[in-house]
């Protein structure tokens, strides 16, 4: 408690210079992008929230999972391998340079080059063969294989000013980024990014300056809002959002297109290789009690490896029951009447009440004789293990994240044989996944996605837990803050008189 209080005091000193200023929007988050202003190195939270302040993609996905125009106004599949995309003609970068088709071509040339091997976004566009500017506001993209999902992938194609990128390279640009968004970064430090508004942006902001502030503890961010030292605190749990609301601020929550799960390492010769064991673990968890007790009863409970807003979700799959008696029978049938032990690796602090969630799951599993030992590790190690392998446990916590394209197939690039270091690979389902990725037949594509969802449910590939819901809190005078599938509309945020 002493350390926490000291941290709050230090935090107060850091923010005291800007306290009360209404011309600065101060947003607290768990962490800042380690790659500063390079929007291609990672695609996960909380870093993806930062990109929409400075950059725009070509399309967006709305709150209902529908594809929307953004920098692109139209798109058309000329044939199975050729897409033609029309662009807005009224957009400029923050340095005044017009946004044209050449910028799109420049970005795709980089992402498909050997230089981009470290960029997470490059893997998202590995289907691109070539791109070219047909005219200043029309781009043609030729793909290696049929790519019907291309328009839904374009939110990740953040536009950077080509001359700045060419002059500075990826590392230099990261320190001096130029995009088409409403705010331009002016200073990066370990705990803060400072921005100036871009009045000429096509998404015209209303607040002259902005600060993104890293404060890892949700408690610290909550106290900063209560003290008027932050205007918005992201990455909270329901209790912190409720505290802010009770003090006269605003507590917010919203669902995502991501499912939280405990993912089993298959093929290691452990009890988790048996589908009966995996089903037993799923039946042993009281999900309703978990979300009611820890997440204010808000999250959707899973029926499959996706959530209902995602394209390809199968509405006919039934809920997963809570049935510990049946779970014990399954364990006995599998040869484990006295249960067994396994090790879970989990990050703490990356999701609302995740530490308590792991403890609740462990308690439920212990009731059927299964001991889940929880070993915590940092997000950086999770990312490294996902990318390179080298796990130390039998299972780990991570999402089935359909954001930002909100398609149930997006998580399959990690949770299947498509991944370079797979923790789960079953060749039986790969033909359906691969065909769903290339067919332009809408009905067939949906049917194949439903087949994939049923297979992952029947094989109990993971311990499916709940839809991820995000929580935030704001001061009473803040309006217009929303986050949709990783996108924050910074230009809509404004202050009102208290």
Low-confidence ranges of the chain (pLDDT < 50): 1-21
d(CA 260, CA 257) in angstroms, rounded, equals: 10
d(CA 146, CA 212) in angstroms, rounded, equals: 40
Which residues in the chain are classed under CATH 3.10.105.10?
255-469
Which residues in the chain are classed under CATH 3.90.76.10?
59-165
- Cβ–Cβ contacts within 10 Å for residue 138, how many? 16
The answer to whether residues 406 and 309 touch, using CB atoms and an 8 Å cutoff, is yes
Residues 6+ apart with CB under 8 A from 129: 81, 112, 142, 143, 144
**Closest C-alpha among 182, 142, 245 to residue 474:** 245
Q: What is the DSSP string of 429-442?
A: THHHHHHHHH---H
- Cβ–Cβ contacts within 10 Å for residue 353, how many? 22
The CATH class given to the 59-165 domain equals alpha beta
Report the b/e string of 250-288 with b at 16+ CB within 10 A: bbbbebbbbbbbbbbbbeeebbbebebbbbbbbbbbbbe
d(CA 426, CA 94) in angstroms, rounded, equals: 47
477 by Cβ neighbours in 10 Å (0-12 / 13-18 / 19+) ranks as: middle
d(CA 437, CA 388) in angstroms, rounded, equals: 24
Note the pLDDT tens digit of each residue in 5-16: 333 343 333 333
d(CA 62, CA 382) in angstroms, rounded, equals: 29
Token pair of 17, please? 């210079």
Which residues in the chain are classed under CATH 3.40.190.10?
2-41+181-249+475-495
Beta bridge partners of 192: 213
pLDDT attached to residue 17: 37
CA dihedral 21, 27, 30, 31 (to 10 degrees): -90
pLDDT attached to residue 405: 85
Token pair of 420, please? 């370079």
Strands (E), 305-446: 341-346, 371-376, 395-401
pLDDT attached to residue 350: 64
- Cβ–Cβ contacts within 10 Å for residue 390, how many? 10
pTM of this structure: 0.83
pLDDT attached to residue 349: 66
pLDDT attached to residue 218: 87
133 HSE (CA, 13 A, CB side): 14
Beta bridge partners of 380: none
Query: Strand 24-29 to strand 209-214: parallel, antiparallel, or no bridges (unpaired)?
Result: parallel
pLDDT attached to residue 71: 98
Beta bridge partners of 194: 187, 211
Q: Which residue has the tokens 């997470």?
A: 120
The one-character DSSP state at 127 is T
Question: Under CATH, what is the fold of the domain 255-469?
Answer: Dipeptide-binding Protein; domain 3 (3.10.105)
Question: Under CATH, what is the fold of the domain 2-41+181-249+475-495?
Answer: D-Maltodextrin-Binding Protein; domain 2 (3.40.190)
């Amino acid at each position: 408690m002493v350390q926490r209080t000291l941290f709050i005091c230090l935090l107060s000193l850091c923010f005291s210079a800007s306290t009360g200023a209404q011309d600065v929007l101060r947003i607290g988050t768990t962490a800042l992008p380690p790659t500063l202003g390079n929007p291609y190195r990672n695609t996960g939270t909380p870093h993806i929230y930062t990109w929409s302040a400075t950059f725009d993609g070509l399309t967006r996905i709305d709150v209902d999972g529908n594809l929307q125009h953004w920098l692109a106004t139209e798109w058309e599949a000329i044939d199975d391998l050729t897409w033609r995309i029309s662009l807005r003609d009224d957009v400029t970068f923050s340095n005044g340079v017009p946004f044209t088709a050449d910028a799109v071509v420049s970005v795709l040339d980089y992402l498909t080059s050997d230089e981009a091997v470290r960029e997470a976004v490059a893997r998202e566009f590995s289907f691109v063969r070539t791109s070219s500017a047909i005219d200043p506001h029309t781009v043609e993209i030729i793909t290696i294989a049929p790519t019907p999902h291309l328009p839904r992938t374009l939110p990740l194609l953040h536009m950077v000013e080509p001359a700045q990128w060419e002059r500075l390279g990826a590392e230099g640009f990261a320190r001096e980024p130029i995009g088409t968004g409403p705010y331009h970064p002016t200073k990066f430090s370990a705990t803060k990014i400072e921005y100036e508004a871009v009045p000429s942006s096509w998404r015209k902001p209303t607040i002259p300056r902005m600060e993104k502030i890293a404060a890892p503890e949700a408690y610290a961010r909550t106290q900063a809002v209560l003290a008027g030292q932050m205007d918005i605190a992201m990455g909270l749990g329901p209790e912190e959002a409720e505290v802010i609301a009770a003090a006269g601020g605003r507590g917010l929550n919203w669902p995502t297109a991501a499912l939280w799960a405990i993912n089993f390492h298959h093929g290691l010769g452990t009890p988790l290789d048996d589908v009966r064991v995996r089903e037993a673990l799923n039946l042993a968890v009281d999900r309703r009690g978990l979300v009611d007790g820890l997440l204010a009863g808000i999250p959707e409970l899973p029926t499959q490896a996706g959530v209902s807003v995602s394209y390809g979700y199968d509405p006919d799959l039934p809920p997963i029951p809570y049935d510990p008696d049946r779970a014990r029978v399954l364990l006995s049938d599998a040869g484990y009447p006295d249960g067994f032990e396994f090790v879970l690796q989990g990050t703490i602090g990356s999701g609302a009440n995740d530490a308590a969630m792991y403890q609740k799951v462990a308690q439920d599993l212990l009731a059927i004789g299964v001991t889940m030992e929880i070993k915590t590790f940092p997000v950086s190690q999770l990312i490294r293990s996902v990318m390179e392998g080298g796990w130390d446990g039998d299972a780990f916590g991570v999402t089935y994240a359909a954001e930002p394209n909100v398609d149930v197939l997006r998580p399959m690039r990690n949770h299947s044989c498509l991944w370079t270091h797979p923790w789960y690979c079953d060749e039986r389902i790969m033909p359906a996944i691969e065909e769903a990725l290339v067919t332009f037949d809408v009905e067939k594509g949906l049917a194949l996605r439903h087949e994939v969802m049923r297979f992952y449910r029947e094989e109990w590939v993971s311990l499916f837990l709940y839809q991820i819901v995000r929580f935030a809190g704001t001061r009473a005078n803040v309006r217009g803050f929303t986050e949709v599938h990783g996108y924050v509309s910074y230009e809509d945020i404004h202050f009102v008189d208290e």
